[in-house]
Structure 1
Amino acid sequence: MNLREQLTQLLTLAYVFLSAFVAWKALGLVTNSHSPIVVVLSGSMLPAFDRGDILLLWNRDQQARVGDIVVYEIADKSIPIVHRVLREHHSTEKQLLLTKGDNNMQDDLPLYAKGQLYLNQKTDLVGTAKFFFPKLGYVTILLTENQYFKFGLLGLMGISAVLTSE
């Protein structure tokens, strides 16, 4: 393979990654969420959502309502949590929410930051779940939890690259 073909392949790969990045950022702007798509990682929302379901979030609502399924992040914790709004309190300037997983026995108070009694709708919410796609995110779970799957997939991609370059 000559230099021109190698550069063409490199530019094509860069175009694919750049296109995915631009699509992600555009979706983030439309939904007003820094993470417009999330994967459900646990069974805490059964039977509404199962592990591996992909949720499309929307963060343009003025206030969340009791019964809405929201995704929130807690300071110093990297994994977003998908749970239902159980109770809400609001004033003119802010809305406070208490959440709970449908399959959990108690509310999320132990999950919140130390001393935090409620979630702030403006600062803690990533978005409200509007659509879901069942089981499509299970590949993400396999990649993060199973090192053999991850290395096997990387190996297949390497073998594919070597075989197609000839």
Structure 2
Amino acid sequence: MEALKTLKNMSIRQMLLQSLNFLLVLSSAFMFWKGLGLYHNTESPIVVVLSGSMEPAFYKGDILFLSNPKQVPIEIGDITVFKVEGRDIPIVHRVIRVHREAETNKQYLLTKGDNNEIHDRGLYNPGQMWVDKDDVVGRVKGYVPYVGMVTILLNEYPQVKFAVLGLMGIMIILSKE
């Protein structure tokens, strides 16, 4: 009831100011994300591990920090995040073999999850034997354990995500400063 009273007492100018503050927070977060991506040369500088295929190195819910220096070749043992054409979710796996085409000097990779028994050719598109280096989103440079569980929960239960976003919006609009 106090929140409704506060909302009724606000002028249109105050409401507009609070809405602009909310948009400023959202745009700042977006600019930070894009700036981090540009600095690390990756479209996604931070990803969340969604499965147990890389255990014991990474567990479901770990947040990974990525970098993708184009001039540095990928080596066996590097943990990469790559996209497979036609799939929305990138895959986090270790490089177990590197193939370089002699004529073009183009690099191709064979990957495998640490917790998987065989390589990833079954995950690639039919007939695809290697991951092209251009499909690599980034290489893992660091991680924070289990913090990404919040993201997984919000994606598995979208009603919770909308409730949290709604509460944040209401709190920003109703705050007096």
TM-score normalised by the chain length of structure 1: 0.90
Quote the residue 1:45 is aligned against: 54
Q: Is 1:117–2:129 an aligned residue pair?
A: yes
Distance 2:27 2:172 in 1: 20
Gaps spanning 5+ residues in structure 1: where?
A: none
**Percent identity among equivalent residues?**
52
Q: Which entry has the higher C-alpha Rg, 1 or 2? A: 2
Distance 1:161 1:126 in 2: 35
TM-score normalised by the chain length of structure 2: 0.85
Distance 2:83 2:26 in 1: 27
Structure 1 vs Structure 2 CA RMSD: 1.9
Quote the residue 1:131 is aligned against: 142
Q: Structure 1 residues 56, 159: closer, same or farther in 2, change over 3 A? A: same
Distance 2:38 2:120 in 1: 29
Quote the residue 2:161 is aligned against: 150
Q: Report how many aligned residue pairs link the two structures.
A: 164
Q: Moved runs in structure 1, 4+ residues, more than 6 A?
A: none
What CA deviation, in whole Å up to 9, does each residue of 1:127-152 have, x standing for no partner? Answer: 10001111111111001112453355
Q: CA deviation at 1:96?
A: 0.8
Gaps spanning 5+ residues in structure 2: where?
A: 1-9
Quote the residue 1:58 is aligned against: 67
Q: Structure 1 residues 26, 6: closer, same or farther in 2, change over 3 A? A: same
Q: CA deviation at 1:153?
A: 3.0
